[in-house]
Each structure stands twice: as structure tokens, then as C-alpha cells.
């Protein structure tokens, strides 16, 4: 297959290239694409140095699958161009996620929805992905009514410049120097920021709306109630979430452990053991830790959920979608 990666020099684009190689995705022709600013740079793929091309109308000629990792504006500009040239676009931005005509896919949760695509498939938000991977197996058995999530999201979710800002801010604070942030509204070193994205008139942030609306769409559950507070933390890689989930039926710990232990893409940590973002970095899995009956609600479970936001939260999920497309193409 001829595969293009738009945003090939960015954090997620680089991770997509790595995952394509690791999973031996069937690629006959690899096309790395980026803006004019990054065109001419070189990326490594399968042991070869491949020059990055500037995205243009003719860049998608003959492309079978195009993985987009360059932001919503770029996706809005180029996704339909790529589709018109015959490509299936798997988009990592927020551009198409809530479009009712475009499937929003987490392969462990709703792989069948991929067949509804008309050329564009949306990759969910990183925080949503790990939450629904953990909750969907329980929802299928006990019917999820409500969940609350407090997320602790690393700066790599913002991009490469945020990683630089974390280092510079931390260094300045340790040296007793002042620091003026450029990426975040306040210094991120030794700090936490209690919202991700802009807040609307009701005080809800962009990232919190994503958790609600995307979870409902992926789980096919429009009555699902979600309460969410998204927090940016001074961690380089890996997102953590403190989740409380209430179901229509009471769930025992034994039942929950058994169901989650059999679910794809999940590792359940037992005996009060847990995983942190540092340990999850580079892993393809979603770790469910500190699973316990909630202290306040009889039909609820509490859990600590950790995953690598650049892997399962972005690149891996996108490549898994591409694998679904490739397997269906092979079947026909």
C-alpha cells in the first residue's frame, strides 16, 4: 500500500512512523508530508532516509491511506483533497470527530463503525481513548450510566514546543530566575494548570467537552453523563486519569477484574500495584490500576487509568485503524 503521513516531522507524526515500522504495516511506498517550513527535512523509515515533501494537491496521487497529524486547520484544508485522490484519511485532529457522517474509532471498542466511512475516519482525543478502552468492556455487561474523570495530562499532548517550555521553565525556577511562558498561560514547571484549552461561558474547557461528546459517540450512548476536569501537569509523556464509573447494575470487584483482564489492550494491576506515566512511556497498553468499589456510590467503581498519550492516545490508535482498513481491503 502507498501510505502518506502528513505532519511527519511532528511528535505524533514521528510516533506514527515508528509504529508503522514496528507493526510491519504493509507499505510499498512511503510518503512523508509536512508544511513548507519542514519540507526538505529527512525522516527515517525502514532503514532509509526519506525526504519530506511539501503537502500539495498532487501529493496524494495514488495514496491508499493518509495518516494526518498536523492539526485541525491542516486537516480541514487537505483531508477532502486526499479523499478526492482516492485515499482514506485517518485524522488525528479534532476537525472531524463530532461530524455525524464521520466515524470516530477506537479499535478495541467500536471497530465495526469503520465501515461507515466515506473517506475520512477520525482518531479520538488522547484522554478519551484511554478512558473508553477501560470503560467499554464494563459498559457492555453492566451499562454505564455516568463517569467522572480527573485527568492529569502530560505536556507532550500540546506538542514539541511544550516539551521545550517545560524544560526551560523548570530550569529557570531551579536557578531562581523569572520565566515568561509562551505555550501555556502560566509557568508549567513545578505546577499544575486546571484546564486544557479555552473555557466557555459556563466554565467548561475544550478538553472536557471532548471527553463528554466523544465518549458518547464511541460508545453509542447519547444518554451517558460525564463529569470531567482536565489538568495539565509537568510530566513529559503519559496521561493519567482518576475515574469513578457508575453502572445500572452493581458490579463486584471479582466481576470487574475478570472482564477487564480478558479485554483487549488492557493490563489490570492487582494487589494495590499501579503504573505511573514514567513506567507507561513507550507502551501500547492501557493500565487499569487501583480498581476498587467506590466509597460513596454502591453501583460505582473507582480506578486509576494510565497510558502513553503519544502511543495509544494517538499514533498507535491511528495505525490500528489503518490495519482495520487494510484487512478489509485484503478481504475484498
The helices-and-strands tally (H runs, E runs) of the chain is 8, 14
Phi, psi of 240 (to 5 degrees): -125, 150
Give the DSSP letter string of 64-114.
SEEEE-S-HHHHHHHHHHHHHTTPEEEE-SSSSTT-TTS-B--TTT-GGGG
**Among 117, 126, 169, 289, which one carries the catalytic annotation?**
126
Q: What is the CA radius of gyration of the chain?
A: 20
Spatial distance between the Cα atoms of 268 and 285, rounded to a whole number of angstroms: 10
Give the DSSP letter string of 283-310.
---EEEEEEEE-SS-TTEEEEEEEE-TT
Asked if 307 and 284 count as a contact pair (C-beta separation under 8 A), the reply is no
Phi, psi of 282 (to 5 degrees): 90, -5
Residue 270 falls in which region: left (phi positive, over 0), alpha (psi -120 to 50) or beta? beta
Report the candidate in 120, 114, 77 with the shortest Cα–Cα distance to residue 96: 120
Residue 195 is among the residues annotated as catalytic for this protein:
no
**Among 117, 169, 228, 239, which one carries the catalytic annotation?**
239
Asked if 101 and 113 count as a contact pair (C-beta separation under 8 A), the reply is no
Residue 117 is among the residues annotated as catalytic for this protein:
no
Active-site positions read: 126, 239
Amino acid at each position: 500500500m502507498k501510505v502518506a503521513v502528513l505532519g511527519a516531522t511532528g511528535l505524533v507524526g514521528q510516533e506514527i512512523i515508528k509504529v508503522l515500522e514496528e507493526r510491519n504495516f504493509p507499505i510499498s511506498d512511503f510518503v512523508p508530508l509536512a508544511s513548507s517550513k519542514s519540507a526538505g527535512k529527512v525522516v527515517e523509515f525502514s532503514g532509509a532516509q526519506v525526504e519530506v515533501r511539501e503537502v500539495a494537491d498532487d501529493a496524494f496521487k495514488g495514496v491508499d491511506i493518509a495518516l494526518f497529524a498536523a492539526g485541525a486547520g491542516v486537516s480541514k484544508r487537505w483531508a477532502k483533497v486526499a479523499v478526492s485522490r482516492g485515499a482514506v484519511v485517518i485524522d488525528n485532529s479534532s476537525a472531524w470527530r463530532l461530524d455525524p457522517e464521520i466515524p470516530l474509532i477506537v479499535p478495541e471498542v467500536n471497530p465495526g463503525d469503520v465501515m461507515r466511512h466515506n473517506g475520512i475516519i477520525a482518531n479520538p482525543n488522547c484522554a478519551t481513548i484511554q478512558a473508553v478502552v477501560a470503560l467499554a468492556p464494563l459498559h457492555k455487561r453492566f451499562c454505564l450510566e455516568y463517569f467522572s474523570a480527573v485527568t492529569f495530562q502530560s505536556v507532550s499532548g500540546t506538542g514539541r514546543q511544550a516539551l521545550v517550555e517545560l524544560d526551560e521553565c523548570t530550569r529557570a525556577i531551579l536557578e531562581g530566575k523569572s520565566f515568561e511562558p509562551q505555550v501555556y498561560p502560566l509557568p508549567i514547571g513545578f505546577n499544575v494548570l486546571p484546564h486544557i484549552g479555552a473555557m466557555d461561558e459556563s466554565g467548561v474547557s475544550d478538553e472536557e467537552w471532548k471527553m463528554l461528546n466523544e465518549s458518547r459517540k464511541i460508545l453509542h450512548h447519547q444518554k451517558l453523563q460525564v463529569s470531567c476536569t482536565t489538568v495539565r501537569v509537568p510530566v513529559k509523556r503519559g496521561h493519567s486519569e482518576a475515574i469513578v464509573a457508575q453502572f445500572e447494575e452493581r458490579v463486584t470487584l471479582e466481576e470487574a477484574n475478570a472482564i477487564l483482564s480478558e479485554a483487549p489492550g488492557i493490563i489490570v494491576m492487582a494487589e494495590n500495584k499501579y503504573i505511573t506515566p514514567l513506567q507507561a512511556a513507550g507502551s501500547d497498553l492501557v493500565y487499569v490500576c487501583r480498581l476498587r468499589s467506590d466509597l460513596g456510590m454502591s453501583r460505582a467503581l473507582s480506578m486509576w487509568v494510565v497510558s502513553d498519550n503519544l502511543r495509544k492516545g494517538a499514533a498507535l490508535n491511528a495505525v490500528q485503524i489503518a490495519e482495520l482498513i487494510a484487512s478489509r481491503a485484503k478481504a475484498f
